[in-house]
């Protein structure tokens, strides 16, 4: 089972006795996944990819309405026997009028709890979310109606989720990419059992990313150390073979000795050795200055020969 289906199974088990909140969830399901007929007997035909979501839809509607309905099913993919289920609700003029289904609803028509329920209903029928262990983070709700997606985006962003809109062929999508925002969205719509799995996966990914950055930084620092050491050893070798060492400052001779004996040591490690054995007062900038002075001596001597 996919992570999306796991999340939806979690949401299906949410209990709701509050009529206005339940109806906000139902309204989202109808608006995003229904065909409405006002010719003859008023009819709402709502399609679901899951019988368990359909059962929740009927259960919530029954909190307020007595209905005439029938359920149809059809196979949409013979390879995996995937089915769609449609509930046809007849003689439902009062329902169409109550939900104002023939009109464009506004964000201001809902309070915060109704918004959460509306987003829950929208996600149940038209939502998907990547498994948190996957490479990319992505949560989306889709609709063929641009007005509905604009409303959903406003609802998401009322909780600062930074939702954006895109179009995929004839479908409009409100989506979230941030791992943190996706977690906040799932929490807002009532996901509970799968939140621990989501949070554990995100924490694991963050730890691995931090460890990887640390390793890369260590490798980069080691590379810089090696390059600096090679250059310093070349300078030392040149001076030893070409420059009269008796003219060198003993402090420079000491640095040359320590570097030759510790070819792979970093500057900090060299300084620790010097502090322990030679000069407790030498600073890192002072050690750097001595290496620069050795290089200057080499270059001055080369230029003199020219």
User: Do 68 and 90 contact (CB within 8 A), yes or no?
Assistant: yes
pLDDT digits (tens, 9 = 90+) for 139-150: 999 999 999 999
Helix (H, G, I), strand (E, B) or coil at 141: strand
174 compared with 304, residue with greater pLDDT: 174
Least confident of 75-84, 102-111, 265-274: 75-84
32 compared with 210, residue with greater pLDDT: 32
Q: Given a cut of 90, is residue 190 above it in pLDDT?
A: no
Helix (H, G, I), strand (E, B) or coil at 127: strand
Supply φ then ψ for residue 281, to 5 degrees. -95, -15
**Sign of the Cα pseudo-torsion (141, 147, 148, 151, in order):** positive
Query: Tell me, what's the pLDDT at 247?
Result: 79
Q: Given a cut of 60, is residue 305 above it in pLDDT?
A: no
Helix (H, G, I), strand (E, B) or coil at 87: strand
Tokens of 250: 């003993």
**Sign of the Cα pseudo-torsion (260, 263, 267, 271, in order):** negative
Pure H helices in the chain? 3-12, 19-33, 51-61, 93-98, 112-126, 146-157, 179-188, 195-242, 250-261, 267-277, 284-305
The confidence band for 284, taking pLDDT boundaries of 50, 70 and 90, is confident
Q: Given a cut of 60, is residue 16 above it in pLDDT?
A: yes
Query: What fold characterizes domain 3-193?
Result: Endonuclease I-creI (3.10.28)
> What is the DSSP secondary structure assignment for residue 243, as one 8-state letter?
S
Distance CA 177, CA 132 (A): 11
15 compared with 61, residue with greater pLDDT: 61
223 compared with 306, residue with greater pLDDT: 223
Distances (CA, A) of 243 to 151, 240, 261, 300: 80, 6, 20, 11
The confidence band for 118, taking pLDDT boundaries of 50, 70 and 90, is very high
Least confident of 8-12, 36-40, 93-97: 36-40
Query: Tell me, what's the pLDDT at 100?
Result: 92
The confidence band for 266, taking pLDDT boundaries of 50, 70 and 90, is confident
- Please compute the mean of the pLDDT values over residues 208-213 and round it to a whole number: 65
* Domain layout of the chain by residue ranges: 3-193, 209-305
- Where do we find the tokens 């997606």? 149
Cα separation of the two ends of the chain = 78
Least confident of 39-48, 58-67, 276-285: 276-285
CB neighbours of 22 closer than 8 A, spacing ≥ 6? Answer: 16, 60, 63, 64, 117
Cα–Cα–Cα angle for 130, 198, 210, nearest 5°? 95
Range of 91-105, 228-242, 289-303 with top mean pLDDT = 91-105
- Please compute the mean of the pLDDT values over residues 61-86 and round it to a whole number: 83
Question: 128 has which bridge partners?
Answer: 140
Cα–Cα–Cα angle for 151, 97, 90, nearest 5°? 110
The CB density around residue 44, as the number of other CB atoms within 10 Å, is: 21
């Amino acid at each position: 089972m996919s992570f999306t289906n796991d999340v939806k199974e979690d949401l299906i088990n949410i209990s709701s006795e509050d009529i206005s909140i339940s109806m906000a969830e139902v309204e989202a399901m109808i608006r995003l996944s229904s065909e409405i007929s006002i010719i003859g007997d008023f009819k709402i035909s709502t399609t679901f990819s899951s019988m368990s979501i359909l059962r929740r839809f009927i259960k919530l509607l029954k909190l307020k309405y007595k209905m005439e309905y029938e359920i149809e099913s059809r196979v949409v993919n013979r390879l995996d026997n995937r089915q769609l289920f449609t509930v046809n609700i007849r003689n439902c003029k009062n329902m169409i009028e109550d939900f104002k289904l023939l009109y464009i609803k506004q964000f201001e028509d809902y309070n915060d709890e109704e918004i959460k329920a509306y987003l829950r209903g929208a996600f149940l029928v038209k939502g998907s979310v990547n498994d948190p262990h996957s490479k990319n983070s992505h949560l989306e709700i889709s609709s063929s109606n641009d007005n509905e997606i604009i409303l959903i985006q406003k609802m998401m962003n009322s909780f600062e989720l930074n939702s954006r809109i895109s179009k995929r062929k004839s479908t409009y999508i409100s989506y979230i990419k941030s791992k943190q925002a996706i977690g906040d969205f799932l929490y807002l719509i009532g996901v509970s059992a799968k939140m621990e799995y989501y949070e554990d996966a995100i924490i694991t990914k963050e730890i691995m990313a931090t460890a990887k950055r640390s390793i890369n930084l260590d490798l980069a620092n080691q590379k810089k150390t090696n390059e600096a050491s090679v250059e310093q050893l070349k300078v030392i070798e040149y001076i030893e073979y070409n420059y009269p060492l008796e003219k060198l400052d003993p402090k420079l001779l000491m640095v040359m000795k320590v570097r030759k004996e510790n070819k792979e040591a970093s500057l900090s490690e060299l300084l620790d050795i010097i502090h322990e054995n030679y000069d407790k007062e030498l600073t890192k900038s002072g050690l750097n200055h001595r290496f620069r002075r050795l290089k200057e001596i080499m270059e001055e001597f080369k230029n003199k020969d020219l």
